[in-house]
Structure 1
Amino acid sequence: MIPAAKLTTHDLYASLVDAIDQADEVYIVAAFAQRSGVELLLPALRRAVERGADVHFLIGDYLHITDPEALAELLKLDGLSIRFYRSGGRAFHPKAYLFRNAETGLSIVGSSNISKSAFRTGVEWNLHLPQAVAPHILDNAIEAFMDLYLSEAAQDLNPIVLEAYRQEHDARQYVAEPEVDYAEQQLVTSDEILPHRVQEEALRALRETMEEGRTRALTVLATGLGKTYLSAFFARDFKRVLFLAHQRELLEQAERSFKKVEPNWQTAMYIGSDRTNDEQTDVLFGSVQTLSQNRHLERFAQDYFDLLIIDEFHHAAAKSYQKVLAHFEPQFLLGLTATPDRMDGADVYALCDNNVAFQMHFTSAINEGFLTPFHYYGIHDVIDYSQLRRMGRKYDAMELEQAQIDRAVSENIYAAWSKHRQTRTIGFCSSIRQAEYLSQTFREMGHQAIALTGQTVNRRERIQEFEQGTVEIVFTVDLFNEGVDIPKVDTLLFCRPT
């Protein structure tokens, strides 16, 4: 690679190709990408993945400049790990090209996004800093990259995500209407955590399937029946366990549950820069995004773990999960999910050899008395949605937001909430601006309300205030998508089309 630090003010392309050709690991983050720039990089990227290099891309939706066709071209190249950063109106301007191999590394940071003009003809300033010049800069840069890459704002790029962005790009509007899943909670409240009847039946079924010689199984349990605790009870039968998930919050919550089941377990995290695994670790809670990188997988022998648990197993069809599954050969693989059937048709059952050891869906759980029956109130909405332009399955984001940021609309929401609420509420919104507007309205009405989004800096502290009762209602957008465990929530308020 480049032996000394230098500044490139034109023709960055030649340096990029040279660095890609020598790298075992490639990390590229850009505020936007154009097809012209992607097409220039594709030959070098193809060579990199064919020789087994780890190649990570993080592309932003900044001002909708990113060309959907650029993303489509990247998706065609098998072996790339690509995520799409959803800025939600927040400034997102990074441009960095990071490379590393066994001997050395290189950081290129400056002004060039992914386009032909930025690589060849434009006036661009980019600083080239070899690892030998400043040994810690590259490591710090890659860790910063992974923090963005693993953030809640970053989505795995797939055809569904691409098509959604394509519609937004064509209309030049940002649309944010997340799918929402709710928390699971353990139903036992004694100091000693013991499995309840459904978990006992599931444990019996898992042990029977192992006795039959099977090495993989899927367990389908409705949200609220305690999938994480079930996996912890099952993990007692094994010496060394890997718990795999795609979000830090899921991993931290799972670690707390496992420690309640077995306080003597030595646990550790393996996500981003937080990697503390050693020989004494009984249960490792790992991020699929981190562990799917070659340099991390290679640290573990194929049979290092006796039990591999994959949370939210409906995500396991993704390439990152497939890479981890292909590497490890545990005694047993346990998949956990409440929703095994995917919208994109991917077959997650096949990943567990079509072996569903146990399942109980939410209707059965309610009938059995394990989940609480819910009351659903449909309130007349004063917004005339027939006047809003539709973009596929969603409404035009700007028109929807303009209709929602209205005093009559917010007062109608407040009146319905006042009539039907219990003690603690989560309100789901279409946009950050709507969440902030409603929280302000509710505060003016004398209630403790906050807006909590992916951009909230002190999110953990605010959630604690909510759990402790200091805050009555949280308005959120693009958050609380999966694995949220706030048992004291008893009211859900949908302030968006759903």
Structure 2
Amino acid sequence: MLSAPSPPLALTLRPYQEECVQRVLNTYQEQPEGGKALVVLPTGCGKTVVFTEVARRLGLTTLVIAHRQELLQQAADKFRLADPTAVVGQVGTGRHEWGAPTTVASIQTISRPEHLKNLSQFRYQLVVIDEGHHATSDGYKAVLAALSNAFVLAVTATPDRLDKQRIESSFGEPVFSTTILEMVEQGYLCDLRAIAVRTTTSLDGVHTQGGDFKTRDLEEAVDTPERNLRIMRAYQEHAKDRQAICFAVTVEHAHHLAEAFQKAGFRAAVVSGDTPQEERKHILQAYARGELEVLCNVSVLTEGYDHPATSCIIMARPTKSRALYTQAIGRGTRLAPGKRDCVILDVTDNCLKHRLQPQLLQQALGVDMRNGESITEARHRLHTEAAEAPAPSEPGKESNERTTKVLARTSDLLVNILAPMDWKRLSSGAYVLEVGEHRHRIALVPSALREGYYAVWAKLAPTFKPQLWLKESPLEWAQTHAEMKARLLQTDEKKRVLVDSHAPWRSYPASLKQLSTLRYYGLDFQPEITSGEASDLIGQEKARREQAKAKQRVARQAPRSRQKTS
């Protein structure tokens, strides 16, 4: 079984990702041909990692479909990270690389009649639809009809649609689903803090179209010098030291907002569908390097764009769409070194007509949040209020029991969400961490070729000779890998030898005990695995299992807490 496996992922799957993969595999076993599975994971929780691992384990000819070039490139990159030997073809934007074991394709290209014939010819066994909430359109229906015998996996962060079509009618109820709230509580997404920015603008004259505000009416109502200045001042007051993405109604609105920021001395720029591709690339790179503080955009950054250091979202565009709203705030939910939370500036305009009420953070997430309060603070407050509330019967006993449950819940959260490490961001875009009394240095160094990718380097005392711990990987992978080793150094200085890439033992063949442990954990490995590689795999798996136990404790407490507060 272990003679020639595919190379393992650079990062062990998170517990919920492993559960998600297993549920998809179980669904496939029930109906390999023509079966369907829907997965709902919030932005930043690894949808691409999940479907890449499903494809790797199934070993089927795979077609990944997306509606944006950025999503195609992300998928191709993740497949190659999971398996450096993977052959990935691309169809779309002028490329027609049919016939590879894995193909990433643009729906706009493959839904054309001349390409539908190719789909039938290559007979893909697994079809993955990224951002699956788009899959009810005619183009997707034509593609799925041409591949009726394939197993279809749809992944999305936002299953609800403005046109009221239910994605579940096409793919069934989700085989796995989780929420932003749950991921924040478990420490996989950063905390969100909502601040209401009240304006004197009225939305009462704005009409609706297709389930959301009519663009022209909305622009006329909200694109005013007074409102734009109010938004800038709110950023200045609450988030001036944070990188922010600002969502505007139209291109002109975005430019007016950017001008308001620029006049106040902030470095701001605009990206939209009208921005030339090369110019957009340079602007996004400048933002990623920290050279821009505010990035104003119209629609282009709601899906497929990730800059984890973003710690402020400005909702200057009112919307009735929960899907659009959650996609927008999802640009700020990702974890990053040194990032404590993300501030959502909810611009609240006057609105007397209930049918025109736009989405706000607490409405979208379904949690009672006070102004300026974070999700975690709101949840703790609600649990505390419930614990202190008198019970209708046996007040003393019930109150004590409730208090016990809440305290256990709070304790679990503190154990579960490990204290953020003190990363420092340099002007070069790299992150640096000093560890222990000997001040070992660990660095996340940005890739010069791939946006959002970082290599992990270390300089360990006493020689401080540079050593590569992890090749270029997505930031969350690199950060997790670096912090796993950093915690080893923190717990015991003698464990330095376990993380030191220059230690002679790392090049020795894996010991019998290591091989036995790898088999016990069910980990894939190459026959020629070294002792150092085996140690890394075992360390990652132990860390994953310890984390999973903490999450299970939280999950066991959550239902009881909710019962007591209901």
- SS of the residue 2:85 aligns to: coil
Whether the 8 Å CA contact 1:244–1:285 is kept in 2: the answer is yes
Alignment partner, residue 57 of structure 1: none
1:367 aligns with 2:185: yes
**1:417 CA displacement:** 0.1
Match of 1:472 among 277, 280, 293: 293
Return closer, same or farther for 1:295/1:404 CA change in 2, 3 Å cut-off. closer
CA contact (8 A) 2:215 2:249 kept: no
- Give secondary structure in 2 for the equivalent of 1:269: strand
Asked whether the equivalents of residues 302 and 327 of structure 1 are also in contact (C-alpha less than 8 Å), the reply is no
Distance 2:215 2:127 in 1: 43
Quote the Cα distance in structure 1 between the aligned partners of 2:29 and 2:216: 54
How far is the alpha carbon of 1:444 from its aligned partner?
2.2
How far apart are the structure 1 equivalents of 2:30 and 2:316? Answer: 49
CA distance in structure 2 between the partners assigned to 1:249 and 1:484 by the alignment: 7
User: 1:232 maps to what in 2?
Assistant: 52
- Of the three residues 381, 390, 395, the one matched with 2:199 is 381
- CA shift, 1:442, in A, is 1.5
Say whether the 8 Å CA contact 1:302–1:328 is kept in structure 2. no
Task: Tell me if the contact between 1:219 and 1:358 (Cα under 8 Å) persists in the aligned partners.
Answer: yes
User: Which string of whole-angstrom CA distances, capped at 9 and with x for unpartnered residues, describes residues 292-332 of structure 1?
Assistant: 12211212435622211011112211111111111114552
The residue number in structure 2 matching 1:244 is: 65
| Aligned-partner Cα distance in 2 for 1:338–1:413 | 28
> Alpha-carbon deviation of 1:191?
9.0
Q: 1:244 to 1:396 in 2, by over 3 A?
A: closer
2:174 alignment partner in structure 1: 356
Q: Secondary structure at the match of 1:310?
A: strand
Partner of 2:488: none
- The correspondence for 2:118, drawn from 299, 316, 332, is 299
Aligned counterparts, 1:432-447, within 5 A: 432-447=251-266
- Change in CA separation of 1:496 and 1:316 when aligned onto 2, cut-off 3 Å: closer
Which amino acid is the alignment partner of residue 336 of structure 1?
V
- 1:384 deviates by 4.2
Which residue type is aligned with residue 212 of structure 1? Answer: E
- Aligned twin of 1:203: 21
TM-score normalised to structure 2 length: 0.50
1:429 aligns with 2:245: no
Q: Cα offset for 1:470?
A: 1.3
Q: Secondary structure at the match of 2:175?
A: strand
The aligned amino acid for 1:314 is H
Query: How many angstroms apart in 2 are the aligned matches of 1:399 and 1:297?
Result: 40
CA displacement, residues 419-472 of structure 1 (integer Å, 9 cap, x when unaligned): 221421101112211211221222222221101111011212211111111111
SS at match of 1:481: coil
Residue in 2 that maps onto 1:223: 43
Matches of 1:285 and 1:191, distance apart in 2: 19
Structure 2 contact 68–304 (Cα < 8 Å) conserved: no
User: Which residue matches 1:213?
Assistant: 31
Aligned to 2:389: none
Looking at structure 2, the residues matched to 244 and 191 of structure 1 have their Cα atoms a distance apart, in angstroms, of 22
Partner Cα separation in structure 2 for residue 277 and residue 268 of structure 1: 6
More displaced, 392-401 or 295-304? Answer: 392-401
Deviation at 1:481, TM superposition (A): 2.8
Q: How far off is 1:355 after superposition?
A: 5.4
CA distance in 2, matches of 1:277, 1:461: 31
Q: 2:224 matched to 1:417?
A: no
Aligned counterpart in structure 2 of residue 452 of structure 1, from 249, 262, 271: 271
CA distance in 2, matches of 1:419, 1:294: 54
How many angstroms apart in 2 are the aligned matches of 1:397 and 1:432?
Answer: 12
Deviation at 1:260, TM superposition (A): 2.2
Task: Label 1:227 to 1:402 Cα distance change in 2 as closer, same or farther (>3 A).
Answer: closer
Q: Distance in 1 between matches of 2:96 and 2:306?
A: 24
Contact 2:206 2:217 in 1 (8 A): no
Residue 268 of structure 1 aligns to a residue whose secondary structure is: strand
Equivalent residue of 2:52, what SS?
helix
Contact kept, 8 Å, 1:427 with 1:493, in 2: the verdict is yes
Deviations 1:353-395 (A, max 9, x none): x253211122222233322221110012133445x45456536
Query: CA 1:263–1:350 in structure 2 vs 1: closer, same or farther (change >3 Å)?
Result: same
Counterpart residue identity of residue 48, structure 2: T
Q: Does 1:394 align with 2:213?
A: yes
CA distance change for structure 1 residues 347 and 378 in 2, over 3 Å: closer, same or farther? Answer: closer
User: What is the SS of the residue equivalent to 1:433?
Assistant: helix
Alignment check: 8 A CA contact 2:80 2:86 kept: yes
Distance change in 2, residues 1:496/1:298 (3 Å)? closer
Letter of the 1:265 partner, please give it.
A
What RMSD, in angstroms, separates the aligned Cα atoms of the two structures? 2.5
Equivalent runs, 1:179-194 vs 2, <5 Å: 192-194=10-12
Offset at residue 334 of structure 1 (A): 0.8
C-alpha displacement at 1:399, in angstroms? 7.7
Distance 1:264 1:399, change over 3 A: closer
In the alignment, the residues of structure 2 paired with residue 254 and residue 378 of structure 1 have an alpha-carbon distance, to the nearest angstrom, of 36
Alignment of 1:16-165 (within 5 A): none
Corresponding residue for residue 223 of structure 2? 404
1:437–1:356 CA distance, 2 compared to 1 (3 A): closer
Residues 1:286 and 2:105 aligned together? yes
Other-structure match for 1:38: none
1:266 corresponds to 2:87: yes
Q: Mark the CA change 1:429 to 1:195 in structure 2 (over 3 Å): closer, same or farther.
A: same
The answer on whether the counterparts of 1:312 and 1:338 sit within 8 Å (CA) in structure 2 is: yes
Distance 1:206 1:399, change over 3 A: closer
Counterpart residue type for residue 247 of structure 1: R
Amino acid of the structure 2 residue aligned with 1:436: H
CA distance in 2, matches of 1:277, 1:396: 40
Structure 1 match to 2:78: 257
Q: Which residue of 2 aligns with 1:341?
A: 160
Which whole-Å CA distance do the structure 1 matches of 2:105 and 2:290 have between them? 32
1:485 paired residue number: 306
Secondary structure of residue in 2 paired with 1:341: coil
Identical aligned residues as a percent:
27
